[in-house]
Amino acid sequence: MSITHHGSMDLFAPSRAVCSLAALFVTWKGFLLVVALGAALAPDYDTSTSLFLERMYGRNASVSLATAQLTRWDALYFMHSSIKGHVYEQEWAFGLGLPTLVGLVGALARRLAPSAGPSTTTTTTTMSAATYALEPMVAICLAHLAHFLAVLCLHRLTMLLSGNPRLAYLSAALHILSPAGLFLSAPYNEGPFACLSFVGNLLFAVALKSTSGSGRESKSKSRDPSQLSLQRHAAMIAAGLSFGLATAFRSNGLTSGLLFAVEAVNGLRRMASRPCRAGDAVSVAVALLGGLCVAAGSVVPQTLAWMRYCVPEGVVSRPWCAWAVPSIYTFVQEHY
C-alpha cells in the first residue's frame, strides 16, 4: 500500500509530471488525429478544402491527408490570410496573429528548404512544379507546439500559486483533454492564444510573488529590494507584452487588461494611504504600461486596417471609417 502511495506521489512530482503530461499529450493528440483521418472514409460533403488548396498551391501540390482533414471551415480564412495577406475586409475579423506568424515561418521554411516549392504569391497557372501545402502544415505544427507549451505553463502557474503538485498535474491534464478538441490541433487561434495567455498569467504571478512573502519570504528578505522591484517591473511588462500578443490572436484577450487595472488601482490606494513614495509611482506606471501593451494587441491591427481603408485618397471610404471609434472588427461582425 505504501509502495503504491509512494509511486502515486512520484507521478505528481514536478520532475515526473512533465514526462507524464507529455505522454498524455501525445496519446490524446494521436487519438484525435485518428478520428480526423477516420472521417476521410466517409463521403466528403464539403469540397471547399480541396478547392482552396488547389487554388492556392496548384493541381500538382502535395497535400497530406492530415493537412486536408484539419484545414476546414475558418482555417481556410486563416490560411488565405497567411498566404495572400488580408485581401477581403471580413478576413480582419480573424486577427493578425496567426496569419502573420504562419506567413513568417512559412517564408523562412521556403528559404531554408527551396524544395518546398515556389512562393504561393505566384498564380496557380505558373505552378508547374510540384509544391507543398506548406502554410497549413506550419500552422498545424504551431498549434500542437503552442498547446503543449500552454500545458506546461499552466502546470507551472498552478504550482506557483498553490504549491500543490497534484492540483498542478490535474489542471494541466484537463487542459490537454480540453473540450476544444481538434480546434487545438487545427490551424486555428485557440492554441497560440492559450499559450500566450498562460505565459502572461505566469509572468504576472511571478511579478506579484517576487515581492510577496508567500513561500519565499526568507529568500526575498536576503535580496536587494531594488533588485526585487526591478524583477517585478520586468515581469509585469513582459506579462503585458504576452497578453498583447494573445490579443492579436483573439480580441477577447483584452479582458486580461483587468489584471493591470486592478494592480494600478491598488497602487493608487497605497499612494493615497501613506506618504508618496517613488516606488509606488513607478509600480502604478508599470501597471499602466502593461495595460497599454494589452490594448496594443487590438489597437495596432485596427490602426493598420484604418490606414488601409480610410486614409488613401481615391479609395471609397468604408462606413465604419466615419464612426467615432472606427473599428473594422465590430463592423465585420455586424455586417458579415
Q: 304: burial class by Cβ within 10 Å (0-12, 13-18, 19+)?
A: middle
Q: How confident is the model at residue 174 (pLDDT cuts 50, 70, 90)?
A: very high
Asked if 151 and 21 count as a contact pair (C-beta separation under 8 A), the reply is: yes
Mean pLDDT of the region 4-8: 50
Q: How confident is the model over 207-245, as pLDDT tens digits?
A: 999 876 544 444 545 567 778 889 999 999 999 999 999
Question: Helices marked H in 163-277 — which ranges?
Answer: 165-176, 190-210, 217-221, 225-249, 257-273
Indicate yes or no: pTM above 0.85: yes
pLDDT for residue 1: 41
List phi, psi (to 5°) of 163. 70, 15
Q: How confident is the model at residue 275 (pLDDT cuts 50, 70, 90)?
A: confident
pLDDT of residue 320 exceeding 60, the answer is: yes
pLDDT of residue 246 exceeding 90, the answer is: yes
Over the chain, what is the mean pLDDT? 88
pLDDT for residue 215: 47
Chain position carrying cell 486536408: 68
Residue in 233, 245, 232 with CA at minimum distance from that of residue 195: 245
- Among 14-28, 43-57, 122-136, 235-249, where is mean pLDDT lowest? 122-136
pLDDT for residue 113: 79
pLDDT for residue 255: 97
- Among 43-52, 59-68, 120-129, 141-150, where is mean pLDDT lowest? 120-129
Of 75 and 7, the structure prediction assigns the larger pLDDT to 75
Alpha carbons 136 and 187: distance in angstroms, whole number: 7
Rg (CA), the chain: 24
pLDDT of residue 7 exceeding 60, the answer is: no
Q: How confident is the model over 289-318, as pLDDT tens digits?
A: 999 999 999 999 999 999 999 987 766 789
Residue in 294, 273, 295, 268 with CA at minimum distance from that of residue 283: 268
DSSP state of 122: S
Q: All 3 cell numbers of residue 33?
A: 488525429
Q: How confident is the model at residue 46 (pLDDT cuts 50, 70, 90)?
A: confident
- For Cα atoms 90, 93, 95, give the angle at the middle one, nearest 5 degrees: 125
Dihedral over Cα of 26, 27, 30, 31: its sign: negative
Asked if 314 and 264 count as a contact pair (C-beta separation under 8 A), the reply is: no
Mean pLDDT of the region 246-265: 97
Of 76 and 60, the structure prediction assigns the larger pLDDT to 76
Within 8 A by CB and 6+ apart from 245, the residues are 97, 196, 297
pLDDT of residue 127 exceeding 70, the answer is: no
Within 8 A by CB and 6+ apart from 284, the residues are 264, 267, 268, 271
